[in-house]
Structure 1
Amino acid sequence: MAVSVLNASSWSDIQRIQQAAYVESLHEECEVLKSKWQASPDTCFQYLDETGRIVAYLLTHAWGSSAVPKLHDALPEACAGDQLFVHDLAVSPEAAGKGIAKALLSAFFEQASLMGYSRFMLVAVQGSVPFWARYGFQVKDVPVSESYGEGARLMVLSTE
């Protein structure tokens, strides 16, 4: 099993995993997901099982605003900034509980550090606040776009 950067052939597996991991209202079109990857390909990762099949992925991108990007919208061309937005971390149900999310996040934080990033933000969905809190993310009491669904929470982390 191994972590590697996403590539152009990853998208059918990413869509399969997204559909299994999220409620339907959170499913995004492939072109929208690709816009995140294209904005910051060096900070997007996949996890391959022993057969070489993608069983998890992590999409992140640079972001220069304190407001979060809306779900279901492609990123604007000018989205660069001094922080990384963790757009999506999904693990297929058959691979859950094997430490795969931890491996993806470890690779991500290592790469982010090499690139000089120390500030991160995300929107926790589907009750994932406790998961992200284990990695040091803290809830900010700021409203997020309704596109993320009920109970979505903005979370931030600074490693400075």
Structure 2
Amino acid sequence: MQPHDLPTMINLAENVHEDYPEDDAIFAERLALYPQGCYLLSAGGEPCGYILSHPWAYAKPPELNCLLGEIPSAPDTYYIHDLAILERGRGLGAGAVITDKIVAHARSEGFDNISLVAVGGSNPFWAAQGFGEVVIEALTPKLRSYDDTAAFMVRQL
């Protein structure tokens, strides 16, 4: 993904994640802080999704619509902030393909796990990608700020 892709990504986010709105600045910051973890997905030559990911602190997922400021100096997880795919792009395997690419990148950077917050009933998708729910009571209030089904999920590498 490149800076000129931001308007497309923001439009995709508005269409896919209506219940999880984030300011434009969130997307711009993620791309600026860690461009190697940001990808625009396409199907048939048309944008159909994106992924934002970056190194982070384990069991400390950022709040929704919150600027990071910086990547931690000693990150201990690779974090998937967001994967969004339009309906027309689903069922084509793009989610699995980009997840595999992110897993390979995280391994190459020396991480032994990847974490995320699954929202909107996406838990089965993430489970199929090798992620399992990890219950940490202290995270419950933060997870509920996303939605009632939000789950902290981890894949060991």
TM-score range, shorter chain: 0.7 to 0.9
- Farther off after superposition, 36-45 or 148-157: 36-45
Q: TM-score, normalised by structure 2?
A: 0.88
> Secondary structure of 1:148's match?
coil
2:3 counterpart residue number: 8
CA distance in 1, matches of 2:100, 2:112: 14
Unaligned runs of 5+ in 2: none
Within-5 A mapping of 1:71-110: 71-80=64-73, 81-110=75-104
Which of 31, 42, 57 aligns to 1:64? It is: 57
Letter in 1 for 2:153: M
How many residue pairs end up in the alignment? Answer: 152
Partner SS, residue 3 of structure 2? coil
Whether 2:146 is the aligned partner of 1:140: answer no
8 Å CA contact 1:144–1:152 kept in 2: the answer is: no
Alpha-carbon distance between aligned partners in 2 of 1:65 and 1:82, rounded to the nearest angstrom: 6
Note the C-alpha offset of 1:110: 1.8
How many Å apart are 1:69 and its aligned residue? 0.9
Work out the CA distance in 1 between the residues paired with 2:120 and 2:70.
29
Superposed displacement of residue 28, structure 1: 0.7
State the percentage of identical aligned residues: 24
Aligned partners of 1:44 and 1:108 also within 8 Å: no
For the residue of structure 2 that corresponds to 1:156, the secondary structure is strand
Q: 1:20 to 1:78 in 2, by over 3 A?
A: closer
1:16-31 alignment runs, 5 A limit: 16-24=11-19, 26-31=20-25
Which runs of 5 or more structure 1 residues have no equivalent in the other structure? 1-5
Query: Which string of whole-angstrom CA distances, capped at 9 and with x for unpartnered residues, describes residues 17-61 of structure 1?
Result: 11221233x01111112222222211221212333x321111001
Amino acid at match of 1:113: R
* Cα shift readout 1:39-87 (whole Å, capped 9, x = no counterpart): 2211221212333x32111100110242211011111325340211110
Partner secondary structure for residue 117 of structure 1: coil
* TM-score normalised by length of structure 1: 0.86
